[in-house]
Amino acid sequence: MEDMIRIEDLVFEYTRDEDQQPVSAIQNVSLNIEKGSFTAIIGRNGSGKSTLAKNINALLLPSSGAVYVNGFDTRKEEQVWDIRQSAAMVFQNPDNQIVSSIVEDDVAFGPENLGIPPEEIRRRVDNALNSVNMYEHRKKAPHLLSGGQKQRIAIAGAIAMRPECIVFDEPTAMLDPKGRSEVMSIIKELHGEGITVVLITHFMEEAAQADRIVIMDQGKIALDGTPWQVFSRVDELRRLNLDVPLPVELCCRLRRRGVEVPDTIITMEEMVEFLCQYK
Ligand code: ADP
Ligand code: MG
């Protein structure tokens, strides 16, 4: 499978005032992400997740090492638009991403900057608004919408760029449970349509839905594998100060009490399936 993102021995340091030491945020990270895959990145606060995401989008450039997005080198200034068009980004706070006072204008903003003809923009905006179930709100003012709705507008803005990949940096962190699950189902649909998804999250049940989980700790990759491979390392997760998903925790406790539970249960749905055998 072809790689969407190739990160080679990336080091990133934030430089501050001359008399201060630089802050080392990413230390020699190498990571390849396949086209069409769904990767979750988790890790405690300050572990370097957002810095990594911004390096993928060329918002930050490597202190050393290299990042390639769809084959484009982020260090080459002339490729920055190709990179941002290949890999769009959705951030945590929807209010900081909305630039227009009407929903549909906001979604059109990205494609307009790409110089796309008006009739094609119209089509893209309508499609994007439909895919996030916000078409009926297209004439509204974004500030009148709920947090979840605003985040869906920000996602529509990303979709309208027709990117091959979307990097989401904690897109549900500021949302209520309803908004969270709406945004998660859109993310899963986008992945289903073939878009490469990178999802940074601190919700374990969201990470459990990815094909692959990468755990960051102190600017490095601490664990990398399928959800099952990663979540079965319960002691390691505790050491990294991360929660174990509730269904995994429940399985561990049941096993300790002698109940035979398959070691493939990660999501609540799988747990329900398993328990329903006994009804
Ligand atoms: P995460 O997203 O996992 O919480 P970040 O990538 O935001 O982690 O931060 C990684 C490290 O870089 C932390 O030590 C953080 O304090 C530091 N850092 C982040 N942004 C800046 C900045 N603008 N200037 C200096 N240090 C920063
Ligand atoms: Mg962050």
Question: Could you read off the pLDDT of 152-201 as tens digits, one per residue?
Answer: 999 999 999 999 999 999 999 988 999 899 999 999 999 999 999 999 99
Residue 26, pLDDT score: 98
- Residue 55 near ligand 1, beta carbon < 6 Å: no
C-alpha 118 to ligand 2 mean position (Å): 35
- Residue 14 near ligand 1, beta carbon < 6 Å: yes
Question: Whole-prediction pTM value?
Answer: 0.93
For ligand 1, mutation pick of 23, 52, 54, 220 (most atoms within 8 Å of CB): 23
Residue 266, pLDDT score: 86
- Protein residues with C-beta less than 5 angstroms from the ion ligand 2: 49-50
Atom of ligand 1 nearest to the CA of 200: 2
Residue 139, pLDDT score: 97
Residue 216, pLDDT score: 97
- Residue 25 near ligand 1, beta carbon < 6 Å: yes
Residue 135, pLDDT score: 97
Residue 1, pLDDT score: 79
Q: Any idea which ligand is nearest the CA of 91?
A: 2
Q: Whose CA is nearest to atom 10 of ligand 1?
A: 48
Please list the ranges in the chain whose pLDDT falls under 50.
Answer: none
At residue 182, what is the residue type?
E
Residue 279, pLDDT score: 84
Residue 214, pLDDT score: 98
Residue 18, pLDDT score: 79
Domains annotated on the chain, with CATH: 3-227 (3.40.50.300)
